[in-house]
Structure 1
């Protein structure tokens, strides 16, 4: 049995683990409206992301390194596979890099790419500003066309 077979067999467990980590990490955080619990955003991203267990796990965790005190090492220690953690790291904005440079990091990781597209679609469905609409349109064109 290969490691990928094991991941597929434990898929629902992986998704549940990722959901639990994200729910705990995001506890007490809210969306821009200061009313909507933040966890609704990763849930929306997961609903739009590719349906593989790894993609779903990355969708649930896509903002935790950026918005909480959790580290990549914490995710690995909690049982998140390295391939998923690599995708979450690719999805995490790096200070000093432009939006386009961050998108290049995402584009280089196929797992991250599918989650980022789902993230942008979720953000576009959440009352974006005109500036955000333009930004996400540029991002979607980069990830979908190039």
Structure 2
């Protein structure tokens, strides 16, 4: 992605993510938008960074893939966002497997899991947090192994 185009799309992705996550907070009570920003900061290129900023917008708001396309995001990014969208009726293991099939989604999901596994932001770690951490660790190891093939 050419630098100028990448910068324009990065800025647009940040604005849309801020709109989509307005008023949302994470498990620690912090503004949710910090999560996709942290994930994007771990990414290695603009395509991954843009997908990272948008990765929870379809899942957690009324954002649609069609709107992302209409906003000018390339199909490759929108396809990654679709892959990163965990649907309510979908088993988590099936979702992670689906993420693994798209290279951009796989990279973003790895960084998403790294951020989600950072429990240092939580005031108190509960049994539920540890169970979720274990689920994330299994997914993380799987996605790393897929990347090694």
Task: Please give the TM-score of this superposition, normalised by the length of structure 1.
Answer: 0.89
From 34, 42, 48, the counterpart of 2:36: 42
SS at match of 1:93: coil
The answer as to whether partners of 1:14 and 1:54 remain within 8 angstroms in 2 is: no
Unpaired runs of 5+ residues, structure 2, are none
Shift of 1:85: 0.4
Aligned to 1:59: 52
Superposed CA offset, 1:109-144 (max 9, x none): 000000000000000114461112211110011101
Unpaired runs of 5+ residues, structure 1, are 1-6
Shift of 1:97: 2.2
Runs of 4+ in 1 over 3 A off after TM superposition: none
Cα RMSD (Å): 1.3
Shift of 1:13: 1.2
Task: Please give the TM-score of this superposition, normalised by the length of structure 2.
Answer: 0.87
The answer as to whether partners of 1:8 and 1:53 remain within 8 angstroms in 2 is: no
In the alignment of these two chains, the number of paired residues is 138
Q: Give me the whole-angstrom Cα distance separating, in 1, the residues matched to 2:60 and 2:87.
A: 12
Shift of 1:16: 1.1
